[in-house]
Structures are given as C-alpha cells and as structure tokens.
Amino acid sequence: MNDKFLTPYNPQETEPRIARAWEDSGFFNPEKMIAAGIIPSDAPAFSMVLPPPNVTGTLHLGHAMMLAVQDIMVRFHRMKGDKTLWLPGTDHAAIATQSKVEKNLQKEGVRKHDLGREEFLKRVEEFAQASHDTIVSQVRRMGSSVDWSREAFTLDKIRERAVRTAFKRMYDDGLIYRGDRIINWDPKGQTTISDDELVYVDEKTKFYYFKYGPFTIGTARPETKFGDKYVVMHPDDKRYAEYRNGQKLELEWINGPITATVIKDEAIDMEFGTGVMTITPWHSAIDFEIAERHELDKEQIIDQYGKLLPIAGEFAGLKISEARPKIVEKLESKGLLVKVEEDYMHRVATAERTGGIIEPQIMKQWFVDVKKEFTILHSKLSGIADGQKATLKELMRAAVENGQIKILPDRFEKVYFHWIDNLRDWNISRQIWYGHRVPVWYKGDKIHVGVEAPQEEGWEQDPDTLDTWFSSGLWTFSTLGWPDETDDLKTYHPTTILETGYDILFFWVARMILMSTYLLGDIPFKTVYLHGLVRDAQGRKMSKSLGNIIDPVDMADKYGADATRMALIIGTGPGNDIRLSEDKIKAYKLFANKLWNITRFVLSNSEDFDPQDDSSGMHAEWTDEFENILKDVTSDIENYRFYLAGEKLYHYVWHRFADQIIEESKAMLQDPQKRRQTQAALRKILADSLKALHPFMPFITEEIWSLMPGNGGKPEDMLMVEKWPVKVQ
C-alpha cells in the first residue's frame, strides 16, 4: 500500500497536480482519444458548449455549479465511450464589461471621453484579458474537463467573421433594418438597451389630474406633456360619445393656447383614471403605437441627457426632477390642476447594468424584424419545408413546439412560448464602444453592408456596436468554425445539450434558437437543461452589498474542489434555486476523507491479493447489490437527476460499503476459506465506486485510482478514460 494513505487526504496538494496530468494527457480533446485508440473514430458524438462567462471579473458559485453539472455529464459520456466535446470560451459582454471599466476609471477620476474611443478600448481590452485569465484558471481549478484547444471568445477575429456574415445575411433577407422607432434609452449609460435588459422597480409617486379643455387627464409625468396635442379615448366610451375622431378643440395648456385633436383608439383602458389621456409618442411605447396607427406628429420633449428641450419654453434645459414640481406649480396657478393622488404605485424601468432610469426615445437604430416573412432555403426543422416562407418568431416557436428541442424542466417551455408571443423587434445597436462594430459603412447617402469594409476611400463605418447577445446567439456554431463547412460543424452540431441558468432563457437560449434556425435551418441543441440560482444559507441572492458571497476558489482551496462540487450538486433539482452554506461543503470534505480511508482499509487488507487468481470467485452478494445501484445511478445521470445519483452514491459508499460491508468483512478476512473472495469483492466495489464517483469527485477518485496496485503511470490508464462500470444503452 502506498504510504500516502497513512495520512489524511490532502486536496490542496492533490488537485492542482491531477488537473495538470489531465491536461497533459490531451484527452479533453476527443480527437486525441481517437488517436490513442481509446474510442473508435465512429463513436457517437456528445457535444456541449460552455456558456461563456462574461469577462467582467471572476466566477461565482453559480458558475461553479454550472461547471459541476456540466462536467458530470461530460465525464460520464467520456467514460461511456462517446466522442465527447465540451467547448469553452468567454463572452466580451459588451455593456457589462464597458460599464465595469468605466466605474474603475471613475475611481481614478478619468472619463471615457477624455481617453477617446481607441485608448478607452485599449483599457477595456486589458481588463477583459485579465478577467479572462482569472476565469480560465478558475475553470481549471474546478476540474472542468473542457477542450482548451478549441477555446473561443465572442469578440475574436473568427467570431467577428461569423457575426458579420450573420448580419449581412439577415440584412439581405430584409430581416435587419434601420429605422426610427421607439427604443429604451439609458441616459446614464448613454445607449439603447433591449426590452430584456430592463429591470422594473416599484416606486411610489404622485399622480396628477389636469384640466385639458373639457377633459380631465391623469399623469405621473407632467414634464412630458408640453407637446401633447392629441387627446385619446376609447371609441366605445359612452361618456365621450359626443366627441368625434379628428375633432379639433381649442384649449389652454401649459405655455398658452393650443389646438388639440380628438383621437379614438382601442388601446385606451376605459377603467383607468378618467378614460382619457393625452399622448407623448416620442417618450412612450404605447403612445408611439397609437401615433403610428393614426399617422400623428411626434415631437421630442426630453433630450438624451434627461433635460427638457426648447419646446418646454421657460423650462427648457431643466432636468426632469427639477422641472416636474415647477410645471405642476404653473398649471396650478393657471387653475388647471384638478387633484393630486399622493401614493400612486407604479413601476419604473431601469437599466440592468447601470441602474439608469429608462427614457423611451425615438431614435434611428438597427433592428431584427421578428415578424417579417422570408424564404427558408434549407430546413432541417420538422414541419418546415425547403423553400417555405416563415418568420423568425415562427421558427423559434416551431423548434420547441415540434419537439426537436426539449426544455427541462418542461414548465419552461410554456414560459418560452409566452415570451415569443410578446416578442417585438429586437433592437441590436448600442451606442457603446466595446463590442462588435455594426458592419455597415456609409459614404454620402450610399450604404455598404458586408463582411469586409469597402476598399475605396471615404467610407465611414457605423459608430454603433451590436448587442452582446447578437454574437452569443451564434455560439453553438461560431465556435465550430461557421460560416465555413468545417468537420467540427458536421460532427458536433447540433450540440447534444445546453446547460444554463433559467435566468438567461430569453437573453441567450431563445436567441441561439433564433440564429441557428435562421442561419443553419437547424436547431442549436437537442435538450436545454436549466439550473437554478445559488443562494446563501438564508435563501438570499449572493451579492457584494450583502457581503454573503462565497468564492468557489476559496472553497476549493479550503475543502477541495471535489467537496465544493458535491455540495453544489446534491439537494438541487433542475430549475430550482439552491441554498448553500460552508457547512455543507465541509460535510463533503469528510466524505472525501471517508473514501480515502476506505481505500486504506481495502488495500492494507489485500496486499496478498492476486487479481489473476480467481480460484475462489467473489463474494457476489455484495457486488450484485452494488451493480443494481449502479444501474439506477446510471439511469439517474442519463435522465438529468444528478442530485439523486450523487446522493445515492454518497449514501451507498458511506453507509453501506463503509459502515456495513467493511465491518462484516473484518471477520471474513480472518477466515482463510473466505479471505480471497472477500478481498475480490472489496476490490471490485472500491474500483467501481471510484469509477461511478469520478464524474462527481474527479480529483480524489483519479488520485486513488493512480495509487491502486497495477494502475501504472500511462495517460491511457487514467480513470477519466476508464469504461463506465455498468453497461449503458
């Protein structure tokens, strides 16, 4: 027996060493497995992309859980003999990264405009590079068996070509257009953001009623009312039956007399307020739609910094917060204020990244049209034929509806459909500097959309960048070499499974389905497995301000990556949030040590055991029982019940194998008749336990495996490439 077993298991020394040995073997790369003769070249493929972490800093426990779950699947399939690819990378995360760097610069008293675009981008790239390096080392530290030789970045040269190719195709098909439409403007970040990047915050505010000619209108935002010259009511509202659509009224308003026009529109809720409202099409999505329907004028009231424009007369130049009380005061003095409700609850849209209060604005932006029909040339989607016409919405819906993509837990399919039904055109241009520059060039009134810039002089590229999800939407195939028809693409796409958090179902999962069904006519993955969020022991979200963040690398250093992984897996159902405390991680460190001592007992009691000599057979009662458990565990893993599989193994190894079988074996080992068959059974159970536990606790199992008699030294002898202990269909 190796002397190492005389002291307790030491994850700190073991884990980094094992991690290096795995990488040196090259077996995270499936082609190396084939070259070494471990699997045949026609083995079935299992492929998965790592959801690329944002290069905004370091990984948290949520990432660690994701890595653990995915590594379980990957190691299981690798041992099963599949051609297994887990493809890693990072996400430039455009606005998230840029605002992080801006905040850091602010601490030094530097603003991005002082640096200029080029210099600022250099700073962002330095930051991104540093984050990337940290993240990569963290992924390695957790034992994740990703194929580094294929590592990708959403903003590298190869992905840039993919992004531009995708953009051009969509543009040529009329699915990307540039237009003056209402968008979400973030005055703080000085950029537009998509509907999905909004965070609604409940706010208590005053709600004002003003006299508007013969009507009373209600508003929480008096400062937008300057340009209001349309008064809208429901066509069926009997209270206002005497007014006709298009009727003109002369009335007194904030800065003097105006001519107002009556509009009848069904968007009005008769129950709300007085059933009458004036509209501000430039700063409200609903108002914008009404204005579009009736071809009404639109006027801008508030500028991009949140200040009133000259249309506000004496109030021009004031900020919203300053202007509001003064405007109310003026209306009151003119006798136009009817009443004020004090505690009006409403929701304010804020920007997810900057916290800025969103001001809807009409701006010239780039959009993806999700409702426009186009002709699909090559379709591998069931129910969609080559040459058929469809919209992006229809493709996204079809891929899940026809069962080609399965979302787990399946309740999220409903959520997904609901999101598609409410989906509006996707605003993809951002007024930030970090990201893929919009691949469009202008010269006078000429426009060029392409993968390459025009050769001649005088063309200027669009200054905007693309929404970060535009590039991550291509991830399953841009990482495999698309737009080229590569071998990787043929072998590994569609990917087998996508494992990610339910919080990015819309942001990312839906966009990948959009991009893949459109550009490839195929699904990006067959199964989506959604995990929950990691919370602290009290069920709170982990955040810096609460000071309850647990760093996965700290935990790995303290208790071992194996223990951290187990704590993140056990007790976690798909789609459910999990609570994690340091005590739980500690408990699995004890388990690692238990496994270590089991080995110590088995090896020290079988030094005279000769595996070649099977004259006395094996104590089959134990091994048969374990085989049944292993079959059960295998089926749990195949059906994504990792928490059950892990728990069953934990329970068996500790409370059956150690507490009962080993205790019983002590007497049997003393009996010369039974000694050999007992040893054979103990060895067999230990070996199979290590194999089955390997996907969960890869480090300690690999280490013990390498110290078992007869398992010597060569890379292809490593446990990570051993055969799974029971047959799998």
Partner RNA sequence: GCGCGAUUAGCUCAGUUGGUAGAGCAAUCGAUUUACACUCGAAAGGUCGGGGGUUCGAGUCCCUCAUCGCGCACCA
Q: Binding residue for RNA (CB under 7 A) from 169, 294, 526, 579? A: 579
What is the Cα–Cα distance from 248 to 262, expressed in whole angstroms? 6
Residue pair 719/697 in contact (Cβ under 8 Å)? The answer is no
β pairing state of 426-427 and 534-535: unpaired
Least distance between RNA and beta carbon 164 (Å): 29
What is the Cα–Cα distance from 286 to 279, expressed in whole angstroms? 9
- Encoded one letter per residue, x for contact with RNA by CB under 7 A and - for no contact, window 427-456 reads ------------------------------
Q: Binding residue for RNA (CB under 7 A) from 69, 163, 301, 349? A: 349
- Encoded one letter per residue, x for contact with RNA by CB under 7 A and - for no contact, window 492-521 reads --------------x---------------
Regarding 415 and contact with RNA (CB under 7 A), the answer is: yes
Distance of CA 210 to the CA centre of its chain: 45
Residue pair 451/161 in contact (Cβ under 8 Å)? The answer is yes
Q: Whose structure tokens read 């209402």?
A: 182
Regarding 221 and contact with RNA (CB under 7 A), the answer is: yes
Regarding 528 and contact with RNA (CB under 7 A), the answer is: no
What is the Cα–Cα distance from 476 to 607, expressed in whole angstroms? 50
Torsion of CA 14, 17, 20, 25, to 10 degrees: -80
Regarding 417 and contact with RNA (CB under 7 A), the answer is: no
Identify the bridge partners of residue 530 per DSSP, sorted by sequence position. 500
Least distance between RNA and beta carbon 420 (Å): 10
Q: Binding residues for RNA, how many (CB under 7 A)?
A: 66
- Specify the stretch interacting with RNA by CB under 7 A; choose among 44-52, 79-87, 321-329, 659-667: 659-667
Return the number of other C-beta atoms located less than 10 Å from residue 211's C-beta.
17
Within residues 188-207, the interface with RNA by CB under 7 A covers 195-196, 200
* Identity of the residue, 624 or 659, whose beta carbon is nearer to RNA in the bound complex: 659
Within residues 225-284, the interface with RNA by CB under 7 A covers 232, 268-269, 271-273, 275-278, 284
Amino acid at 278: T
* Identity of the residue, 94 or 644, whose beta carbon is nearer to RNA in the bound complex: 644
Regarding 647 and contact with RNA (CB under 7 A), the answer is: yes
Least distance between RNA and beta carbon 251 (Å): 15
Q: Binding residue for RNA (CB under 7 A) from 306, 383, 571, 715? A: 571
- The secondary structure of 207-274, three-state, reads EEEEEECCEEEEECCHHHHHHCCEEEECCCCHHHCCCCCCCEEEEEECCEEEEEEEEECCCCCCCCCC
Q: Which tokens sit at 420?
A: 């598609």
Regarding 467 and contact with RNA (CB under 7 A), the answer is: no
Q: Which long-range contacts (CB under 8 A, 24 or more apart) does 381-389 make?
A: 381/517, 381/521, 381/522, 381/523, 384/521
Least distance between RNA and beta carbon 576 (Å): 5
Identify the bridge partners of residue 216 per DSSP, sorted by sequence position. 211
The H or E element containing residue 472 is helix 468-472
- Encoded one letter per residue, x for contact with RNA by CB under 7 A and - for no contact, window 273-302 reads x-xxxx-----xxx----------------
Q: Whose structure tokens read 């959801």?
A: 51
- Specify the stretch interacting with RNA by CB under 7 A; choose among 135-143, 251-259, 386-394, 569-577: 569-577
What is the Cα–Cα distance from 114 to 394, expressed in whole angstroms? 46
Q: Binding residue for RNA (CB under 7 A) from 578, 618, 682, 708? A: 578
Regarding 217 and contact with RNA (CB under 7 A), the answer is: yes
Is the CA virtual torsion 625, 627, 630, 631 positive or negative?
A: negative
What is the Cα–Cα distance from 340 to 329, expressed in whole angstroms? 12
List Cβ neighbours of 614 (8 Å cut-off, separation of 6 or more): 680
Within residues 20-39, the interface with RNA by CB under 7 A covers none
* Identity of the residue, 177 or 654, whose beta carbon is nearer to RNA in the bound complex: 654
* Identity of the residue, 77 or 589, whose beta carbon is nearer to RNA in the bound complex: 589
- Specify the stretch interacting with RNA by CB under 7 A; choose among 26-34, 109-117, 346-354, 488-496: 346-354
* Identity of the residue, 19 or 349, whose beta carbon is nearer to RNA in the bound complex: 349
C-alpha distances in angstroms, 433 versus 189, 360, 697?
11, 21, 43
Binding site for RNA (CB under 7 A): 8, 195-196, 200, 217-221, 232, 268-269, 271-273, 275-278, 284-286, 346-347, 349, 411, 414-415, 418-419, 422, 506, 537, 539, 571, 573, 576-579, 583, 587, 589-590, 593-594, 597-598, 600-601, 604, 636, 639, 641, 643-644, 647, 651, 654-655, 658-660, 662-663, 666
